Structure 1
């Protein structure tokens, strides 16, 4: 089957969004990709679209898309890949280009190999047997969770004595949230340290409603945790990140932040709130979310390959 391949441009964002929503519909039963999220990814500061993105067309129809970026400045390279089920050949052509570019970028960083990660739905449109033959395997599983919210039941929780919860109000608070994020996630699987300006891009700061970002503190320890949520997804309110420093865990602060976010979204008229969690998380987060009524919407696997020579 003939395919035409070329790099993506920012102007391709609507077509890519349409493709990703076709994939969403097949994988999770409804479209959940927003245009602004695709635009932000295409403007990733560690991706050069002319070399790190690929579109595959069949008779002028976009049937596959891939993007690559490098946050590690070392051997770790991240990728995205989407393909319609009946166009696996196009998907494999993108893998060939993506793997070659990943190894080139890692070697440009001074690394001898590229350790490449890709997130895929646990039941993807991609025929994963094809990438297993290429040396890819699953190394981690994540769950996307969701929970219904109701303003009559999800009310702002009472803050315990000695605990303060405040909205992120200014630049100093933003920098504090960044510092807390780096500290609370430092030991997590696949964590990549991010400077403040890089992190601002990661959280799409230009579109973020900072009143949905909260910091929790205690009298004894000061600022010890945060929750960063966003209300620009059409499908549901979204909790992007929640973290509490190790020394302040088991105080109920994660649950307090979570209930506060539920109440805020319910007050805004949202009926569903979602978040993603690493099923291998050892901080107790999966149990915390389950106790607060969150259930699995769908699962996502992290696939990995290690490249030492052109594929």
Structure 2
């Protein structure tokens, strides 16, 4: 995973001011694979300003002369045992260089956080067979598969009836309500693939930085006064697809089987349609220990894109 770049190439850390250059690189790469950019300028700015991301050590922007030709990063949450990575370039030598830098930095992070090893997770479109082969050659192995699910709204969508005994709380306007949302999400996702628990402060800062998210987009369900289910939506897919996006949907184990997830989904469909959205999008881990994929199919969603996560263990 080591490569020496040509003398005419230069490398420096990315900055917020490089967002347009990053957008161009990511959009070109994605368009070549899936036929559309699947990325916006806000996405680029959010990634470059994500709380906890240290561009001086964890990001690389490669230039041929004055032209950006490669971009890569590594990002860890919580205890940094799981590290998300990505890299974008059409130049094989630059790809090898970037992956080498990512692995080197991953080893440093493992030592820094006291781990004997860390896991790198790379997200790859199923259609990107060349990258999948290259990652396999570099020692990556399949981790899991996500489906991007979508339902289209051709007009108004009927608002579902609230299940008996359930109270709906709209929005999370203050710290107390946000702490409740954080607690429900953390407990619900514990043990699932790729989930790293984050402190309330870290989680809150990430949400505050997300340009497509507002605290009014939180819906919390209570049963007998106890919070048991949560849906977070955002506007991540409004600019490019005019679709609402469900970022998180979770129901505590003790409250499952009561139709709460179906209610939250149909409720969000109605909200998105009323806002003029042409659809609603979410991502589901097809290896989720709960039958999540069946749930989404049952409410009329369909798989619009297949995305694999490839994993590499890096020893400190």
Q: TM-score, normalised by structure 1?
A: 0.91
Contact 1:44 1:69 in 2 (8 A): no
Q: Please give the alpha-carbon distance, in whole angstroms, between the structure 1 residues aligned to 2:227 and 2:31.
A: 41
Picking from 3, 8, 11, the partner of 1:5 is 11
Match of 1:249 in 2: 256
Question: Secondary structure of 2:99's partner?
Answer: helix
Match of 1:128 in 2: 132
- Please state if 1:179 is matched with 2:186: no
| Cα shift at 1:239 | 0.5
Match of 1:222 in 2: 226
Per-residue CA deviation, residues 282-303 of structure 1 (Å, 9 max, x unaligned), is: 2111111011111111111111
Q: Please give the alpha-carbon distance, in whole angstroms, between the structure 1 residues aligned to 2:135 and 2:214.
A: 39
- Please state if 1:188 is matched with 2:200: no
Question: Secondary structure of 2:295's partner?
Answer: helix
Q: Please give the alpha-carbon distance, in whole angstroms, between the structure 1 residues aligned to 2:92 and 2:295.
A: 39
| Cα shift at 1:59 | 4.3
Q: Please give the alpha-carbon distance, in whole angstroms, between the structure 1 residues aligned to 2:120 and 2:36.
A: 29
Match of 2:167 in 1: 164
| Cα shift at 1:281 | 0.7
Q: TM-score, normalised by structure 2?
A: 0.90
Q: Quickly say closer, same or farther: Cα 1:285–1:137, change in 2 above 3 A.
A: same
Contact 1:76 1:106 in 2 (8 A): no
| Cα shift at 1:253 | 0.3
Match of 2:36 in 1: 30
Per-residue CA deviation, residues 214-249 of structure 1 (Å, 9 max, x unaligned), is: 011223x62110100012431221110000000111
Q: Please give the alpha-carbon distance, in whole angstroms, between the structure 2 residues aligned to 1:193 and 1:11.
A: 31
Q: Quickly say closer, same or farther: Cα 1:187–1:308, change in 2 above 3 A.
A: closer
Runs of 4+ in 1 over 6 A off after TM superposition: none
Match of 2:122 in 1: 118
Contact 2:13 2:59 in 1 (8 A): yes
Picking from 257, 262, 269, the partner of 1:262 is 269
Per-residue CA deviation, residues 226-281 of structure 1 (Å, 9 max, x unaligned), is: 10001243122111000000011110000000001001010010002101110101
Alignment length, in residue pairs? 305
Q: Runs of 5+ in structure 1 lacking a partner?
A: none
Per-residue CA deviation, residues 187-230 of structure 1 (Å, 9 max, x unaligned), is: 211211111121123334564222321011223x6211010001
Q: Structure 1 residues 9-18 or 198-207, which shifts more?
A: 198-207
Q: Please give the alpha-carbon distance, in whole angstroms, between the structure 2 residues aligned to 1:251 and 1:237.
A: 25
Match of 1:271 in 2: 278
Picking from 86, 93, 118, the partner of 1:89 is 93
Q: Aligned-pair RMSD on alpha carbons?
A: 1.9
Contact 2:142 2:308 in 1 (8 A): yes
Question: Secondary structure of 2:293's partner?
Answer: helix
Match of 1:298 in 2: 305
Contact 2:124 2:132 in 1 (8 A): no
Q: Please give the alpha-carbon distance, in whole angstroms, between the structure 1 residues aligned to 2:194 and 2:236.
A: 26
- Please state if 1:213 is matched with 2:218: yes
Match of 1:151 in 2: 155
Q: Quickly say closer, same or farther: Cα 1:69–1:45, change in 2 above 3 A.
A: same
Question: Secondary structure of 1:116's partner?
Answer: strand
Q: Please give the alpha-carbon distance, in whole angstroms, between the structure 2 residues aligned to 1:241 and 1:141.
A: 17
Q: Please give the alpha-carbon distance, in whole angstroms, between the structure 1 residues aligned to 2:86 and 2:215.
A: 28
Picking from 257, 277, 292, the partner of 1:285 is 292
Q: Runs of 5+ in structure 2 lacking a partner?
A: none
Q: Please give the alpha-carbon distance, in whole angstroms, between the structure 2 residues aligned to 1:9 and 1:203.
A: 20
| Cα shift at 1:178 | 0.9
